[in-house]
Amino acid sequence: MNYRIVVDSCCDLPDEYRKNEHFVFVPLTLEVDGENIVDDENFNQIEFIEKMKKSDSCPKSACPSPDAYVKAYESDEMTDVYVVTLSSKLSGSYNSAELGRNIYIEEDGKNNVYVCDSKSASAGEGVIALKILELCESGKSFEEVVDEISRFRDGMCTYFILESLDNLRKNGRLSNVKAFIAQALHIKPIMGADDGDIVQLDQVRGMNKALKRLVEIVNSDVKDSKNKVLSIAHCNCPDRAAVLKEAFLKSCEYKDIIVVNTRGVSTLYANDGGVVISV
C-alpha cells in the first residue's frame, strides 16, 4: 500500500524530508502589518524576522482551509494518508484537517485518512512525522500505524526556551501560564507542553543557565532515550542549537539527534533566538 504523510507548515523537518516524495506540506498563512505571507517553500526566515522587528503590530497566523487538506488527501492510487497538525489547543489546523477528512469521505474518497493532533508544534510535529515514516517503511498496516502513533504521541515530550514570549502572549497562546517574568532581570522561563497546552516548567537567570537546565529536565523526563529521536528546532540560532546538541550527546544516549531551522509558523512564535526540543 502506498502512503502519504501530510503535515501543516509548522512541522519542522530537515530539508531532506521536505524533498521526500511521501511528504506533503499544507501551508499556514502569516500576517505582518497587513501583508500575507504563505508559509511554503518560498518562505524567507531572515526577511520575516526583520519584518517582525520593524512592526509595531502583533504578527499572526491563519490555519489552512479544509479544502487545502482535501486536496492533500487526494491521489490517483489507493493511499494511506497520515496527517500531523499543530496542537488543537494552539491552532485551528487540526479542526480544518478533520473537517477536510469528513468532506473527503462524503465525496467518496477511497483513501484511509488518519488525523493526528500532535498536541505539540514545530519539532514535536516533526518527531511524530518521522515515526510515521519509520512505521510505514517497516511494513505496518494502516491500523497498526494509527495505534502506535497514538501511543507514541502521548509519550512524547516538548520543551522550549524563547528570547521573548511576546508573540505567544499577544496571540493568546499562554492562557495557562500565570507568571510573566520581567525581561530586565534576564529571567528565562523554561516552557513545555502539557496535553497540548503551554506550561511553565522552571525559570532561571540567563540563557546559558536556562539551556543547561533544559538539558537536565529533558534527560530526567525521557525514558528509554536510546530508542528515541531527539529533535532540536532553532530560530536563526545554529550556534545555540549546536551547544544543546553537544550537551545532549555528552549527557545521555539517544537513537539520533537532529537539528533543524524553523520555518514560518515556528519562526513567528519562537521568534529570533528561540529553541524547541521534542523527543
Tens of pLDDT along the chain (279 residues) come to 699 999 999 999 999 998 899 999 999 999 999 999 999 999 999 999 999 999 988 899 999 999 999 999 999 888 999 999 999 999 999 999 999 999 999 999 999 999 999 999 999 999 999 999 999 999 999 999 999 999 999 999 999 998 877 777 776 666 655 445 545 557 888 999 999 888 889 999 999 999 999 999 999 999 999 999 999 999 999 999 999 999 999 999 999 999 999 999 999 999 999 999 999
Distance CA 73, CA 208 (A): 44
In degrees, rounded to 5, the angle at the alpha carbon of residue 107 between the alpha carbons of residues 104 and 109 is: 60
Query: What string of DSSP letters covers 227-255?
Result: G-EEEEEESS-HHHHHHHHHHHHHH---S
SS3 173: coil
**Residue 179 CB-density burial (10 A; 0-12 exposed, 13-18 middle, 19+ buried):** exposed
Which pTM value belongs to this model?
0.93
